[in-house]
Amino acid sequence: MKKEFYKILSLLVLGITIGINPLIAQNTDLPNVVILATGGTIAGSAETGTQTGYTSGQIGIQTMIDAVPGISELANITGEQISNVGSQDMSIEIWLTLANRINELLATDEVDGIVITHGTDTQEETAFFLNLVVKSDKPVVTTGSMRPSTAVSAEGPLNLYNAVAVAANPKAKGHGVLVVMNDQILGAHSVTKTNTTSVQTFMAPGHGQMGTVIYGQMEFYRSQHGINTTASEFSVDGITELPRVDIIYACADCSPDLIDLSVKAGAKGIVIAGVGNGNMTASMLNACKKAADKGVVVVRSTRVPTGYVLRNAEINDDENNTIASDELNAQKSRVLLMLALLKKRDNKNIQELFYSY
């Protein structure tokens, strides 16, 4: 009895010291999961249950947890509100706060897994960023919803339940950062939003879903593609900002002006969401070469949802001083490039990063 008392006391003291809600030590038979809330439609609300208009990031973390019956049987849960924004307003500042907090929490023995609630618009970018900078093999899972919390058939509560079930399960360890939405487990490397309004919006073209989770019962079929978390060379330790990288979308008869403007505005990197295999108009390519010759790193990605951008295929990257994005879409190419540019590297090294992450 006395021994148990001292065990609980020491957990409480540790919890207070590292800033975790001490209630995390509730049931020693259950894993401890921390939910970090950032906003999004999962925390959104509307006047009625059937309207299309609503505001993201309205309800707090505790209301979200309270809306999920049975969640406390999966894990001891504590919640922290990191931000409350629609993910169209997700920022590098929030990313850095989130990543540092996750690394701090997962470094302790008291936390077994993390769930991040997030808007769906930029969820793939946050998940991929965390996949590159989280320094732990413990489960880190992002989730969200397409319908606001007040909607008829809001899917947020079940997504949150499934996300906690995955984060609490040791089978999810070592898989990198995961996205759990609509009964699917997807890898941060490959996941992308494919539909503007449907609850079946997240897919992983090329690699497919990594697993399934149904009412908390989960199964993995494959591991995450690409280097991640503990094997990643990237770190945000002591980092307060990331270098500016712009994305420029290509189309028929596209002018080079935006590339020149981006360079003028101080971009250290430019990602082209090219047509087809990372192609663009001759004048755009010329502007890219000029930018690259000035030291701006130019990555050719694609606006096409599936497939590779191949080095030296239709465009000669060696001659134009450009990088091929390989499998990464434009928004994930930007994330990787911002992290890569934290250190001085040559194009050969950056190209290797695109092949391996």
Which residues are catalytically annotated? 41
Taking the CA atoms of the chain, what radius of gyration do you get in angstroms? 21
Q: Is 56 in the site for ligand ASP (CB under 6 A)?
A: yes
Question: Which of 156, 226 has the CB closer to ligand ASP?
Answer: 156
Residue from the set 110, 112, 121, 246 that interacts with ligand ASP by CB under 6 A:
121
Using CB under 6 A as the criterion, what x/- string covers residues 78-117 for binding ligand ASP? Answer: --------xxx-----------------------------
Tell me the residue number closest to ligand ASP, measured at CB.
119
| Angle of helix 92-106 versus helix 123-133 axis, rounded to 10 | 50
Q: Is 144 in the site for ligand ASP (CB under 6 A)?
A: yes
Give me the least distance between CB of 145 and ligand ASP, in Å please: 6
In this complex, which beta carbon is closest to ligand ASP, that of residue 119 or of residue 157?
119
Does 162 engage in binding with ligand ASP (CB under 6 A)?
no
Should residue 156 be labelled a site residue for ligand ASP when binding is judged by CB under 6 A? no
Q: Which amino acid is at 149?
A: S
CB closer to ligand ASP, 72 vs 84: 84
CB 125, min distance to ligand ASP, A: 11
User: What amino acid is encoded at 32 in this protein?
Assistant: N
Nearer to ligand ASP, 121 or 327 (CB): 121
Size of the site for ligand ASP (CB under 6 A): 11
Q: How far apart, in Å, are the Cα atoms of 155 and each of 12, 198, 357?
A: 34, 11, 31
Q: How far is the CB of 183 from ligand ASP (least distance, A)?
A: 17
Q: Assess 159 for contact with ligand ASP (CB under 6 A).
A: no
What is the SS3 assignment for 141? Answer: strand
Min dist. Cβ of residue 134 to ligand ASP (A): 21
From 82, 70, 1, select the one nearest 34 (Cα to Cα). Answer: 82
Give 120 or 333: the residue with its C-beta nearer to ligand ASP: 120
120 binds ligand ASP (CB under 6 A): yes
Strands (E) located in the chain: 32-39, 76-85, 113-117, 140-143, 177-181, 184-187, 192-193, 202-203, 211-214, 217-220, 245-249, 269-274, 297-302, 322-324
Write the binding mask 36 to 55 for ligand ASP: x where contact by CB under 6 A, - elsewhere.
----xx--------------
Distance CA 309, CA 157 (A): 38
Binding ligand ASP (rule: CB under 6 A), the pick from 31, 79, 113, 119 is 119
Cα distances (angstroms) measured from residue 341 to each of 100, 206, 244, 267, 297: 19, 27, 9, 11, 9
Determine whether 161 is exposed, middle or buried from the number of CB atoms within 10 Å of its CB (0-12, 13-18, 19+).
Answer: buried
Across the beta sheet with 211-214, what order do the strands follow? 76-85, 32-39, 113-117, 140-143, 177-181, 184-187, 211-214, 217-220
Contact residues toward ligand ASP (CB under 6 A) are 40-41, 56, 86-88, 119-121, 144, 146
